[in-house]
Amino acid sequence: MFKKKIRHIQRYHDIVYAFTRYGFGFVMKELGLLDLLSVPRRLFVEGNKTLHSKTTGERIRLFLEDLGPTFIKIGQIASTRPDIIPAEIVHELVKLQDQVPPFSFEEVKRIVEQEFVEPMENLYAEFSETPLAGASIGQVHYAVLLTGERVAVKIQRPRINEVIETDLEILQDLARLAESRLDWAERYQIRDIVEELRKSLRMELDYVSEGRNSEKIAKQFKNNPKIVIPKIYWENTTSKVLTMEFIEGIKLNEASMLHQAGYESKVLAERVVNAIFQQILVEGFFHGDPHPGNILALPGEVIAFMDFGIVGRLTSEMKTHIASFVIAMMNQSTDEVVRTISNMGLVPDDVNPVKLRVDVDELRVKYSNVPFSQMSLADAINDLFSVAFRHRIQMPTDLTILGKTLLTMEGVVEKLDPELSIIKIAEPFGRKLVLDRLNPKNVAGKVWSHFFEYGELLNDLPKTVKDFTSVMKKGKIKIEITTPELDSLLTKLNRISNRLSFSIVLLSFSIIMVGVIIGASLSGHTSVLLSKIPAIEIGFAIATTMFLWLLYSIFKSGRF
């Protein structure tokens, strides 16, 4: 571990330097890293002066872009988490650009040949040296297979895996340090957020995983000729090289080209919405980043989806929660909405239920009188995540990917057909989801599955009871009681016992001294021993010392 930290020291310095330059040096200062890494104090001041006119979100975006591929991807992934990141920062994160210089064809050839352990000429009949597109993690080249198929080959950037792993290790160290020193970092569980980002990044670095995602989505539309998903050529694919069918089309954000080619924008918009709702609400496995660059229009208003590095999954349980949410909103039931949100997310123990209910009630009222045709899906999702953020309700990752997918989809469709009602198209899908949930066959199936669970529980019950009684006989059961009044009660009992001890010692002191004095007076004379030893004075001194010591102890405890 220590060797790793030494090896990463320059990268540590770069990251801390960037924090300071973009006005976040106070975080590094609180973590004690400014002095440790010898960052100039003048930079701490100048960094804030230079960027004082920019918003926090803008500075965060510039900071991430400055630190390169890992941090850009982290920012892009973080933009899908409006439940844990303020809306104004998410707004800036979605603008993150990963425009990085392309790497050389020599590097491309080296990576391909290293992955397949044979010359490139044995794999491709033709391979363009100029990339079609590039990003922070990889770039895409046009090629032709030996069998004649036209393909697009995505090659991972050289040593990007090592760069990302180094940055992630540093971020995990910083998160651990932050949680130990900063209350807000512990409250928002920064380490868990970094761990989630790590998993997402590693998934994007695995092109085999992306290929599998692509095939899974393709199966959803095997009987729909209007939706195309690129074919994956597995014999030419590894974790760092992905070879897929080359699809030539027009990106949906190129409005003028679509118009010149004679495409019907309304038809394109409807097909995009229907395809995405099919993935989400029917299949439960969907494209996690359907931005315009990842969707192409082909002749006949055919839609092609590309790039499945990020996908979302909805379990049957999560789809049930979504159905419950829809029903609760339709029934105008605030309590049901709160209950559904609690079931869908991770509600913190210290959440204020009264304030949460008030916020949800305001949300319900806001959309209660809005016709479905006029409702903005983006606004509704943003409002829901704002409530989650305000109460620190951390939504499951797939649910936030769902939110980002719907928001992105609405942005794409709005440019194609501003009058299209996404909610209206979603209505039959939502109705089917609700009906599926209430379908007697599905209900019976759920009851049947629970029946087996309860059967196993009942089967284990005798053994559980036997173990419990065995522990009881051994007297090993511990009972922990925590009540707000218990501390106060114990404090009062402590004070009473201290006062009682004080009274007993005082009484004993009085009895001893009175006995000695009376005995000496009645005898009329003192014994030889008493005449030589000042017993009364010594007794008085000892008793006084004990009395003062006990009195000091009681007062020092503060519970007298």
DSSP 399: H
- Burial of 136 (C-beta count, 10 Å sphere; 0-12/13-18/19+): buried
Examine residue 327 and state whether it is found in any structural domain, yes or no: yes
Does 340 lie in the same domain as 267? yes
In a domain? residue 432: yes
Per-residue pLDDT, 45:
46
Instruction: Tell me the DSSP string of 324-340.
Output: HHHHHHHTT-HHHHHHH
Domain membership of residue 502 (yes or no) is yes
**One domain for residues 370 and 508:** no
Is the pLDDT assigned to residue 225 strictly greater than 70? yes
Q: Are residues 506 and 409 in the same domain?
A: no
Phi first, then psi: what are they for 394, rounded to 5°? Answer: -90, 110
In a domain, 398, yes or no: yes
pLDDT tens digits for range 290-320: 888 889 999 999 999 999 988 988 887 787 7
* 422-449 core/surface letters (b: 16 or more CB in 10 A; e: else): bbebbeebbeebbebbeeeeeeeeeeee
Model confidence at 379: pLDDT above 80: no
Torsional class of 392: left (φ above 0), alpha (ψ -120 to 50), beta (otherwise): left
* The pLDDT value given to residue 140: 95
Residue 315 has what pLDDT? Answer: 83
* Interval 11-37 mean pLDDT: 79
User: With the CA atoms of 237, 241, 245 and 246 taken in that order, what torsion angle do they form, in degrees rounded to the nearest 10?
Assistant: -160
Contacts 24+ apart (CB under 8 A), 170-179: 170/8, 170/11, 170/12, 170/15, 171/74, 171/197, 172/198, 173/5, 174/15, 174/31, 177/31, 178/27, 178/31
Q: What is the pLDDT, as a whole number, of residue 529?
A: 46
Q: Say if 48 falls within a structural domain.
A: no
The two three-digit tokens of residue 347, written as one number? 């509600």
Catalytic sites, residue numbers? 289
Mean pLDDT, residues 140-162: 94
**What are 495-529's pLDDT values in tens digits?**
655 555 555 655 555 565 555 555 555 555 544 44
Q: What are phi and psi of 442, to 5 degrees?
A: -70, -40
Tell me: do 411 and 326 sit in the same domain.
yes
Q: Are 303 and 265 in contact (CB under 8 A)?
A: no
Instruction: Identify whether 319 is part of a domain.
Output: yes
pLDDT of residue 540: 60
Q: What is the DSSP string of 103-159?
A: PPHHHHHHHHHHHHTS-GGGTEEEE-SS-SEE-SSEEEEEEEETTS-EEEEEEEPTT
Residues 413 and 543 in one domain: no
Q: Which residue has the higher pLDDT, 332 or 490?
A: 332
| 286, 360: one domain | yes
Same domain, 414 and 547: no
Q: Is residue 106 part of a domain?
A: no
Burial 281-320 (b: 16+ CB within 10 A, else e): bebebbbbbbbbebbbbeeebbbbbbbbbbbbbbeeebbb
Structure tokens at 437: 């949930």
How many CB atoms are located within 10 Å of the residue 473 CB? 9
498 and 396 in a single domain? The answer is: no
Prediction pTM value: 0.69
Domain boundary among 397, 414, 438: 438
Give, in degrees to the nearest 5, the angle at Cα 544 between 539 and 549: 130
**pLDDT digits 0-9 by tens, 206-215:** 999 999 999 9
Note whether residue 212 is domain-resident: no
Please calculate the CA angle 99-74-230 and round it to the nearest 5 degrees: 65
Do 409 and 532 belong to one domain? Answer: no
Of the residues 407, 438, 469, the one at which a domain ends: 438
3-state SS, residue 363: helix
Taking the C-alpha atoms of residue 369 and residue 452, their distance in angstroms, rounded to an integer, is 44
Q: Can you tell me the distance from the alpha carbon of 513 to that of 543, in angstroms, rounded to the nearest whole number?
A: 9
On whether both 340 and 410 belong to a single domain, the answer is: yes
CB 15 within 8 A of CB 67: yes
Task: Return the biggest CA–CA distance within the chain.
Answer: 132
Total number of domains constituting the chain: 2
Single out the residue in 408, 438, 468 at which a domain terminates. Answer: 438
Of 25-34, 67-76, 411-420, 465-474, minimum mean pLDDT range? 465-474
Torsion angles phi and psi, residue 332, rounded to 5: 55, 40
Domain ranges, residue 414: 259-438
Q: Which residues contact 501 (CB under 8 A, 6 or more apart)?
A: 550, 554
Q: Are 93 and 76 in contact (CB under 8 A)?
A: yes
Are 429 and 529 members of one domain?
A: no
Percent of the chain beyond pLDDT 90?
23
Whether residue 499 sits in one domain with residue 427: no
SS3 303: strand
Strands 241-245 and 285-287: unpaired
